[in-house]
Structure 1
Amino acid sequence: MMGTFLKTPSAIVCEVLGLTALDCVCIDAEHAPFGPMEIDACVAALRAGDMPSLVRVRTGTAGEILGVLDAGANGVILPHVVSGAQAAVAARAAHYGGVGGRGYAGSSRAAHYTTGTMAAHLRHSAEHTVLIAQIEDEEALTELDAIAATPGIDCLFVGRMDLTLSMGATDPLDARVVAAVEQICAAGRRHGKPVGMFITPQESCAQWQVLGASLFLLGSDHSFLLDGAQRLRTRLAPSVC
């Protein structure tokens, strides 16, 4: 699967991205100025375009997780997961019953504003809600098995840039960082959990697919604007006599 990050709090940008062949859009509420109403509007626009949405939340509190899922997002990316215990708390906030303790509101967008049954909403949520643990701290590397084995955690996502900084490196292609990413992929394989990641321009998806990665969130609406403007300028630059 291939998706991208949304950095601009704009339902119109979401509407445009909904017309693309991407598999999903991740609203980056961790690093961009998204408030609850902006997230709500963007999720609604993506749903209208049948584009699955993820939200990378800022801190991962139960209230944050509940808010984005009630708004109708398909899943949550939880930043800086460093332990199985932390993962279990988040899983409880994201899921109903069983492993979960998520509060129910039949009036939410996710529950179709009271027009559906509780049973239908619970069934749909169980089948489609995705909770992704972002691994981006060196201390998480010793907890990978505990995190990946946590019921309710559906995927591990490599936060490559913060992982690089956490390991005292400045190059995401540093051999130690690459080895850590391979460790995360191996943990995913051991526990039957998909692995997602952002990759550098020097890498290919194929080299990580071999190790089990199957979700790639690449670029953002900002990078699309910058790349498109640069290509236009280059293509239409006046000839120099």
Structure 2
Amino acid sequence: MTLKKTRKSSFRSRLLSGEELIGLFVKTPSHSIVEVMGNSNMDFLVLDQEHSPIDLNAMDTCLMAGRSLDMPMFVRIQQNTATGMLYPLDCGATGVIIPHVATLIKAEEIAAGGRYRGGKRGFAGTPRAGGYGTRDMNDYIDEADRETTVIAQIEDVEAVENIEQIIQVNDIDCIFLGRMDLIVGYGAKSINDKIVVEAVEHVCSVARKAGKRIAAYAKHEEKEMLRALGVTMFAVGSEHNLIQKGITNLIEDFS
């Protein structure tokens, strides 16, 4: 059987190949916002459940909206557990970003939570991802294991100290640099403080040597620096940033 490649189905292979991918966070619990943002050339969207009021029902409808447009959809979950990963994946998310992955034990837990075969992801063929019970069980499992993307957010001092162990966990596809939390963790003042810069450089060096992909939230002026560190998956803002910038530009243009 020939597999049809779509934006959603090909995302993980594009990420693992080292292709540069650019996306946005979604902070507003609205499927309409996802539809507007999904009608774009962005490579992915991330529903930020960790830091936004996105409940399970809103997550479900937002994922449905993104899926209808073949937009790769991620959820940055609230709880950094395998259980917390399950609902977004059952609802059809392309993958999950798990915050505060700081130990080998936690890394192994979330890696197993993203895979059926060889992992510990609980199976149900009845949610959206399984075609509401209409799909062949083995075909669905094969597809899910092939396409689900698991991203561990590295944002704790403990995670930096344990990065050599974390990075060796096979079924973690990518790490996401949590630089803001590293500022807090190190008692620093900005991402440019030496201790934060050195921590980020160390994490990226270990990831590059292991062939692990790196993601980061990036401002325009940071892109070349982050590229040099090995970042290939860039979150470049959110609809909040776009709305604020659009209002500012509108006022300036009208004045």
- Same-fold status (TM-score > 0.5): yes
TM score, norm. by length of structure 1: 0.94
Give the equivalent residue in structure 2 for 1:145: 164
C-alpha displacement at 1:152, in angstroms?
A: 1.3
Give the equivalent residue in structure 2 for 1:49: 69
Identity rate of aligned residues, in percent? 38
Which of residues 180, 186, 190 is equivalent to 2:205?
A: 186
Is the helix fraction higher in 1 or 2?
2
Which of residues 82, 86, 89 is equivalent to 2:109?
A: 89
Q: Distance in 2 between matches of 1:215 and 1:233?
A: 32
Could you tell me which amino acid in structure 1 is paired with residue 77 of structure 2? V
Q: Is 2:50 the counterpart of 1:30?
A: yes
Q: Is 2:171 the counterpart of 1:136?
A: no
Q: Distance in 2 between matches of 1:159 and 1:105?
A: 32
Contact 2:46 2:74 in 1 (8 A): yes
**Matched residue SS, 2:130:** coil
- Tell me the alpha carbon deviations over residues 158-192 of structure 1, each in whole angstroms, 9 at most, x when there is no partner: 01111111111121121221221111111211211
Q: Is 2:222 the counterpart of 1:207?
A: no
Could you tell me which amino acid in structure 2 is paired with residue 36 of structure 1? L
Q: Name structure 1 gaps, 5 residues minimum.
A: none
Give the equivalent residue in structure 2 for 1:10: 30
**Matched residue SS, 1:152:** coil
Q: How does 1:72-87 map to 2 (within 5 A)?
A: 72-87=92-107
**Matched residue SS, 1:195:** strand
- Tell me the alpha carbon deviations over residues 66-87 of structure 1, each in whole angstroms, 9 at most, x when there is no partner: 1000000011100011111111
Q: Is 2:127 the counterpart of 1:108?
A: yes
Q: Name structure 2 gaps, 5 residues minimum.
A: 1-20
Contact 1:81 1:87 in 2 (8 A): yes
- Tell me the alpha carbon deviations over residues 120-179 of structure 1, each in whole angstroms, 9 at most, x when there is no partner: 111111111011010011111111111111121110100111111111112112122122
Give the equivalent residue in structure 1 for 2:145: 126
**Matched residue SS, 2:120:** coil
Count of residues in correspondence between the two structures: 235
> Are residues 201 and 169 of structure 1, via their aligned partners in 2, closer, same or farther at CA, if it must alter by over 3 Å?
farther
Give the equivalent residue in structure 2 for 1:157: 176
Give the equivalent residue in structure 1 for 2:241: 223
TM score, norm. by length of structure 2: 0.89
Q: Distance in 1 between matches of 2:211 and 2:103?
A: 18
**Matched residue SS, 2:70:** coil
Could you tell me which amino acid in structure 2 is paired with residue 212 of structure 1? G
Give the equivalent residue in structure 2 for 1:168: 187
